Amino acid sequence: MLASILVIVLLSLITFRVSSLSYGDSQAIIISQPVVKDLEDHDLAQAAVNSQVVLSFKIRHTGDGEQSYTVLIEVRDADQVTIYLQFQKGTMTGNSEIEIGSSWTPTALGDYEVRSFVISELQQPEILSPIVTSKAVVSFVEARKQVQMPEQNIPQEEPVTPPELDKLRRYALDAINKDREKFGLAPVQLSYNEAAQIHAEDVFETRKISHWMTKGEKPYMTYSRYGGEGNVGQNVAVSGYDEDYQSCKIGIFLCEKTDPYVEMDGSQYSMMYEDEDCCDNGHRDNILDKYHTHVSIGIVYDDYFFALVQNFEDQYIDWTNTIDEEDAHSDIVSMSGQFKNNIDVYTNNDVSFYSVSIYYDPIPTRETYEDNVDELSYGGGEEIAIVVEPAPQDYYYEQPSDYMLVEAEFWRVTDSDFQIIFKTDDLQRQHGDGVYSITVWCQGAQDDYFIASSISLYKD
């Protein structure tokens, strides 16, 4: 919730600063009307309650030279109350066009107005386009599909409403923090990254535990795709009826109905105190990792099945120039940020920059899921490169045999922040299409090392 408040405050300041400016016909940025699409890029006439959609539109730079831009995206309800605000930044070359997409999950029925316009920057904005609007209709369509038995009338159930889901998440968060407190660890905060909920919905559909999504993604890939900028470690738990699920649904068997609070208590206890036999205490170690700062929680259930996903996050970087989708379509990665030292209760977790590694996975597919669905743990991909600072004049690096040293184009690292620019073209020529995860390693106060950020870029 804090992140949403900060965005709203920031955009309120922007509105105040540009209120005296007006858009001129001489500007060279043209923006199309927003289009509501699903996650597979299909246009939607109606959006579904509690189902993520993409607000998509194109911006075209008709002038010469580079142009910095910030796209402001807003959704208003029927009462003209702003319920969603977001912005995206970038730079365009002359005579070019790009497509912008921003994810939004409507939580109530109704007609909504999607609004957007372009300014030059946040600090001293110049309006570059007029405001464009379109209508978004949200109807009651369940986000998860019910499996139908032939010639059987299976009643459809109401999905978990957002207020109830938030209540369940906070209950799960409290259980996690009680266990962390027993071991002298700082509490984690609730994150609203959507990857955990998306993964829980995927598990619910298959009724089978897996760290791989059915489309083949591993947790850090999905986390990045939904805007995650830290590092993530995942726990998954299920309970209820899997093989007998349809028999329970249609009344052939008399089955005990799900109590989500009972299932959460049982899942948390099992992962903490019964985890060694099944998983070598991997779930327990994840819950008790001292460097975790946040957790995003996905919960999906009906009367006969329950799925829980805990995505523990390490958020130690305030990004000033984050790695994003633009870097996936470029040969250059530019990254900069500041470390969050001595904040809140994490006073013993002072961190400093250690290194940047790059890991590789093939493009995920359904076959990837089928090959790995029964794996109890997942790795971070193949380490293919380490980014190093430029060698002094008249010196050079000797390349190792099993990975590549990528010499940075620009390198500035201090105790509190960093700015690094490097090229990826040689890596892509060697490894081809795939998921390249840019991973920032940090050193902790006790000379231990951990991943502060792992952001996956899909290069194809």
Question: How long, in residues, is the chain?
Answer: 460
Class of residue 356 by CB neighbours under 10 A (exposed 0-12, middle 13-18, buried 19+): buried
Name the pLDDT band for 349 (thresholds 50, 70, 90).
low
The string of DSSP letters for 58-117 reads EEEE-SSS-EEEEEEEEEE-TT--EEEEEEEEEEE-TTEEEEEEEEE---S-EEEEEEEE
Contact 304, 258 (CB under 8 A): yes
Give the C-alpha separation, 53 to 51, whole Å: 6
**For residue 322, is pLDDT > 90?**
no
Res 23: pLDDT: 44
Q: Once rounded to an integer, what is the mean pLDDT over residues 353-382?
A: 94
Contact 210, 203 (CB under 8 A): yes
Amino acid occupying residue 249: K
**For residue 324, is pLDDT > 80?**
no
Nearest to 63 by CA among 118, 116, 128, 123: 128
Res 159: pLDDT: 52
Question: What H or E segment, with its residue span, contains residue 169?
Answer: helix 162-182
Name the pLDDT band for 286 (thresholds 50, 70, 90).
very high
Residues 6+ apart with CB under 8 A from 149: 246, 249, 250
Give the CA dihedral 376, 379, 318, 423, nearest 10 degrees: -160
Mean confidence (pLDDT) of the chain: 83
212: number of Cβ within 10 Å: 23
Q: Once rounded to an integer, what is the mean pLDDT over residues 266-285?
A: 90
Q: Tell me: the pLDDT tens digits for 72-83?
A: 888 898 888 888
Contact 61, 67 (CB under 8 A): yes
**For residue 291, is pLDDT > 70?**
yes
End-to-end CA distance of the chain: 35
Give the C-alpha separation, 55 to 43, whole Å: 10
Res 157: pLDDT: 52
**Pair of tokens at residue 296:** 């995003």
Res 264: pLDDT: 94
Res 160: pLDDT: 61
Residues 6+ apart with CB under 8 A from 386: 355, 356, 357, 358, 403, 404, 405, 406
Q: Once rounded to an integer, what is the mean pLDDT over residues 171-179?
A: 96
Q: In angstroms, what is the C-alpha Rg of the chain?
A: 24
Q: Once rounded to an integer, what is the mean pLDDT over residues 104-111?
A: 81
Q: Strand 404-407's sheet: what is its strand order?
A: 404-407, 382-388, 352-361, 434-443, 449-459
Give the C-alpha separation, 212 to 234, whole Å: 11
Residue 276, classed as helix, strand or coil, is helix
Q: Once rounded to an integer, what is the mean pLDDT over residues 103-115?
A: 83
Name the pLDDT band for 329 (thresholds 50, 70, 90).
confident
**Pair of tokens at residue 288:** 């008790």
Give the C-alpha separation, 322 to 328, whole Å: 12
Report for 66-70, 322-326, 360-364, 389-393: range of highest mean pLDDT: 360-364
Q: Once rounded to an integer, what is the mean pLDDT over residues 110-120?
A: 84
**Pair of tokens at residue 391:** 């060698």
Res 95: pLDDT: 83
Res 346: pLDDT: 47
Name the pLDDT band for 149 (thresholds 50, 70, 90).
very low
Q: Tell me: the pLDDT tens digits for 16-55?
A: 333 333 444 445 688 888 888 887 778 877 777 777 888 8
Name residue, tokens 């890029």. Answer: 41
**Pair of tokens at residue 227:** 């805007």
Residue 453, classed as helix, strand or coil, is strand
User: What angle, rounded to 10 degrees, do the helices at 162-182 and 260-273 form?
Assistant: 30
**For residue 155, is pLDDT > 80?**
no
The string of DSSP letters for 174-231 reads HHHHHHHHHTTPPPPEEE--THHHHHHHHHHHHTS--SS-TTS--HHHHHHHTT--SE
Contact 437, 343 (CB under 8 A): no
**Lowest-confidence region among 52-66, 126-140, 279-293, 446-460:** 126-140
